[in-house]
């Protein structure tokens, strides 16, 4: 008989212990879209993840929500409003539960690449 043991570090956690493991942003070469990769700890209850991209002045230029996430790893594409090459941006990711509110927050800094023009 082959018995597999669960790694206690991978056991699903209650809402107040769920957190981000990874928040990454990779701008596309078109300077208008972002590939966002996220991972969270295993969860007992499905969390909501709010994403907001802020420009250098703190203005929101993109936002999205993942309501009741079903997987611990996910990726999605965000579209920037008013992209500005060579500018610095911040992705703010918030992990939420309706009753607890925000249980974790993470940020990722990035720069939009300058567009390359073919001659």
pLDDT of residue 91: 98
Model confidence pLDDT, tens digit, residues 52-83: 999 999 999 999 999 999 999 999 999 998 88
Fold of 15-111: Immunoglobulin-like (2.60.40)
pLDDT of residue 118: 53
79 Cβ contact list (under 8 Å, min separation 6): 32, 33, 34, 62
pLDDT of residue 86: 85
pLDDT of residue 116: 65
pLDDT of residue 117: 58
pLDDT of residue 99: 93
pLDDT of residue 113: 83
CA distance 50 to 70: 14
pLDDT of residue 83: 82
Which whole-number Å values give the CA distances from 66 to 73, 74, 93, 119, in the listed order? 12, 10, 11, 41
Confidence (pTM): 0.86
Q: How far apart are the first and last CA of the chain?
A: 66
Q: Which residues of the chain have pLDDT under 50?
A: 3, 119
């Amino acid at each position: 008989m082959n018995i597999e043991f669960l790694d206690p570090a991978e056991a699903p956690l209650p809402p107040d212990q769920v957190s981000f493991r990874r928040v990454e942003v990779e701008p596309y070469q078109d300077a208008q879209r972002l590939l966002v990769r996220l991972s969270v700890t295993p969860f007992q209850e499905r969390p909501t993840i709010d994403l907001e991209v802020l420009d250098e002045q703190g203005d929101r230029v993109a936002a999205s929500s993942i309501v009741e996430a079903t997987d611990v790893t996910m990726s999605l594409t965000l579209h920037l409003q008013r992209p500005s090459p060579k500018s610095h941006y911040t992705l703010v990711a918030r992990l939420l539960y309706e009753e607890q509110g925000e249980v974790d927050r993470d940020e990722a800094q990035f720069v939009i690449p300058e567009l390359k023009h073919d001659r």
